[in-house]
Amino acid sequence: MICEDALPEHVAIYSTGDSTVLFDEKWLNFAIEKCDEDARIEDKEVFLQKIESGEVEVNKIGFMIFEPSIAEEIQFLLSKAAKKYNMECTRSNINFIEYMPPNTNKGTGLAQLNEYLNIKKEEIIAFGDGGNDIELLQNAGWSVAMENANEKLKSIAKFVTKSNSEDGVVDVLEKIFLRDEQMN
């Protein structure tokens, strides 16, 4: 099991099905009120035993890191456990490290949806701003990074738009869908 005691100043977040499991009341309230999560508190030791026994299946483990300067060190510490449990790592931002089963990302989800709906990659536009959006943009014909995205994401995007706080998604969509109206 990924050892939480080795990780200073962090909050572990487990996703099971559509629910988020936390071990601290303060973070439960944050998850519900600020993130609109379906979250619940469980006893840490009991929950970890349920995982080990196979009674509970976890589809994602996230670590919220409060000291960004140690995030790389924490990711390194977790890398052995990630290999042992066949988990891939992604970072949505500097403070959040996520581990999921292989090929469980926004890109594979989009590719599966495209196949199911018989939509061509070239007909898809996707927007992203974090490290967990890389595969998403790679699986869209029209990839757009937000201005506030990291440089790696910007380098793979076909376009860069305004930041999230400047309504970059709206700006691009208005240019696409209101183009005819603006020309008249």
Question: 48-57, 91-100, 141-150: which has the minimum mean pLDDT?
Answer: 91-100
Distance (Å, whole) CA 134 – CA 91: 10
Distance (Å, whole) CA 150 – CA 155: 9
- Residue 154: the pLDDT is 97
Q: Which one is the CATH code of 8-100: 3.30.1240.10, 3.90.79.10, 3.50.30.60, 3.40.50.300? A: 3.30.1240.10
98-137 pLDDT tens trace: 888 888 889 999 999 999 999 999 999 999 999 889 999 9
Q: Are 21 and 39 in contact (CB under 8 A)?
A: yes
Distance (Å, whole) CA 1 – CA 81: 7
Average pLDDT, the chain: 84
- Residue 11: the pLDDT is 67
37-57 pLDDT tens trace: 788 888 888 988 998 899 988
Q: Taking the domains of the chain in order of start, what are their residue ranges?
A: 8-100, 106-183
Distance (Å, whole) CA 100 – CA 105: 8
> Hunting for tokens 């930041």 — which residue is that?
163
Q: Which fold has domain 106-183?
A: Rossmann fold (3.40.50)
Question: 7-16, 89-98, 157-166: which has the minimum mean pLDDT?
Answer: 7-16
Q: Are 107 and 128 in contact (CB under 8 A)?
A: no
**Fold agreement (8-100, 106-183):** no
